[in-house]
Structure 1
Amino acid sequence: MQPNLQHTSKPAVESNRGFQVWWQMTRPHTLTASFVPVLLGTILSLEHGNIHIGLFIAMLIASLLIQAATNMFNEYYDFKRGLDNEHSIGIGGTIVRDGIKPKTVMKLALSLYGLALLLGVYICMNSSWWLALVGLICMAVGYLYTGGPLPIAYTPFGELFSGFFMGMLIILITFFIQTGTVTATSIQISIPILVLVGAINFSNNIRDLEGDKENGRKTLAILAGKKKAVTLLAFMFTFSYLWVLGLIITNGAPIWAVIVLLSAPKAIQAIKVFKAGISPIQMAPAMKATAQTNTFFGFLLAIGIFIGHIVS
């Protein structure tokens, strides 16, 4: 069923919540999926010399802009395909609930991409122009995640694409612009972040499983079914912690990295809520806990690596 276009004429944005509406449209709980990899990649580069603060800030802002724009593309195309309504769970559905015109959302998303491109030019000027190609591919994937004739979000590969491009690749790009190289250690450290960023996407798909199924999506959560999907999510969490412990044992990470275990309660909370929840609104806190797991895990891993660098 197509959305009622009359919703777009509501003046809610101007008269009710103002800036809060625009802020929520960026889906701020997902933005740490960009911030954490940039921080981690930068901390990893300390072993190779001093940090270029300008490149760190440019990479951080560019990553956040691309993530926010991707979320807005998601908002736009979910509306166009009739997936959002006034009762949508979460902070999606701003167009139908708050009266923002779809064209405005698309223009804003493209503007954020434009700003990211300008920052990309600065980054390339101070590192390598090969990154221009990598950056353009990342931006294309961000758009095609929900745009285009066959959106990635409608396939079982959404977790893989989001984890690789918004997790691993951001770490490696950030590390490269500071050091001019990519090492085995930087790749190994990025793997659990790849998994956890993918887990954020997976948790969203578990929450929206029934609605996505009705709208013809073929996500991994739908193919697995809720029970197996939650089990797979638990495995993703477990793998991430065991991977870091394995790196510590093999001297691929400092012993201080063990503090990532402090984030485990959030992962446990996510699994418990998903197991107990039936409706999307009951499972929404589990999605939030999954995003927090990635945030806390990434921050703690960065702190552990930083401490290891200081005391070595």
Structure 2
Amino acid sequence: MTAPAASTSDLRVIWRCARPNFLVLAPLCAGLAVTSAWLDGWALEGVAILLVLLAALLAHAAVNLFNEHHDFVSGLDATTRRTPFSGGSGALPAQPEAARAVHRAALACLGGVVIVGGWCLWRAGPALLFYGLLGMVLVVAYTGWLTRRPWLCLVAPGMGFGTLMVVGANHALTGGFSATALAVSAVPTLMVSALLLANQLPDIEPDRRVGRHHLAITLGARRAARLVAVLVLGAFVSVPLAWAAGWLPAETWLMWLAAPVALRLVVGLWRLPPEVEEGEVAALLPLLGLNVALLLLSLALLNLGLWLAA
């Protein structure tokens, strides 16, 4: 017996739960795989590039959909205070009958990733299985399992969007390992982990009540915010270090055009007022927005630098 087709209202909920405003992150990260391959001298096929970008987009959408469904089913959505950067979309609490459709959409996105991954595996060889299997584990296990293990919860988003999406996609496109891709992946690895940790700060108490145990809970808001600042600084420092080692071209210094924004963010995070520890999130919201803008701007500039150097 086939499942009923999703209604128009279900599709609207699915769209909101996929968090389309944030999905630009995936093609920017996968774009680093493309631009690093160009820098290494590869002439890539347009179809291959499109499929890799599509797989990245579907993987990101799958994570968001699984997360929204899990937070609704667990009851977290009923207790959290939503902000533009945390607490979910609010789509399922407003239309709970769409929960099954959202879960099916998450599985469909994951299925799309598997299909594209199978094509990449056929094209690039069995070594790609490592990236694919680890990526699948991160997508499926993040919300329900990794959010209960503080350091894994910190590392997993950066590894997924940085190490796996950049190095793995580069391998899928070229058929081999790239030191350039590994070097450039340090930026999204550090900054995406910083982004997810920062976005957990407003949800410390609701997350604690449903059994989550991430670093924002373990460290408290102010110390976690300072860790976010350290990760952001580490991402910016990684570029000159990789350039000095001969792994990245001078053009990747273009990312440092975003350094004033990074400095403003780091200072704001380091000087976070004590009332944030008591659950007052008003002081956080401008910093969370600045963090998102910094991440997207930095990745765009990094892609531009690699493209100019190629």
TM-score (norm 1): 0.84
CA distance in 2, matches of 1:42, 1:199: 24
How big is each residue's C-alpha offset from its partner over 1:168-197, in whole Å with a ceiling of 9 and x where there is no partner?
111111211222211333212211221011
* Structure-to-structure mapping, 1:2-17, within 5 angstroms: 14=9
Aligned to 2:174: 179
CA distance in 1, matches of 2:89, 2:79: 10
1:124–1:132 Cα contact (<8 Å) kept? yes
Q: State yes or no: 1:101 paired with 2:102.
A: no
2:14–2:105 Cα contact (<8 Å) kept? no
CA distance in 1, matches of 2:202, 2:260: 20
CA distance in 2, matches of 1:242, 1:205: 24
Aligned to 1:39: 31
1:73 to partner: Cα distance: 0.8
Consecutive unaligned residues in structure 1, runs of 5 or more? 1-12
CA distance in 2, matches of 1:57, 1:80: 34
How big is each residue's C-alpha offset from its partner over 1:31-60, in whole Å with a ceiling of 9 and x where there is no partner?
233222210111011123201221111111
Q: Secondary structure at the match of 1:84?
A: helix
Aligned to 2:284: 283
Give the residue type in structure 1 aligned to 2:214. Answer: T
Give the residue type in structure 1 aligned to 2:94. Answer: R
**Change beyond 3 A, Cα 1:29–1:155:** farther
* Structure-to-structure mapping, 1:24-103, within 5 angstroms: 24-46=16-38, 47-85=40-78, 88-90=81-83, 91-103=88-100
CA distance in 2, matches of 1:284, 1:139: 31
1:153–1:219 Cα contact (<8 Å) kept? yes
1:89–1:280 Cα contact (<8 Å) kept? no
Aligned to 1:114: 111
CA distance in 1, matches of 2:125, 2:292: 32
1:214 to partner: Cα distance: 3.2
Aligned counterpart in structure 1 of residue 234 of structure 2, from 235, 239, 246 = 239
**Change beyond 3 A, Cα 1:188–1:294:** same
* Structure-to-structure mapping, 1:121-200, within 5 angstroms: 121-132=118-129, 134-147=131-144, 151-156=145-150, 157-200=152-195
2:170–2:181 Cα contact (<8 Å) kept? yes
Q: State yes or no: 1:216 paired with 2:217.
A: no
TM-score (norm 2): 0.85
Aligned to 1:201: 196
**Change beyond 3 A, Cα 1:137–1:250:** closer
1:133 to partner: Cα distance: 5.2
CA distance in 1, matches of 2:95, 2:287: 25
1:110 to partner: Cα distance: 0.6
Q: State yes or no: 1:250 paired with 2:245.
A: yes
Count of matched residue pairs = 292
1:234 to partner: Cα distance: 0.9
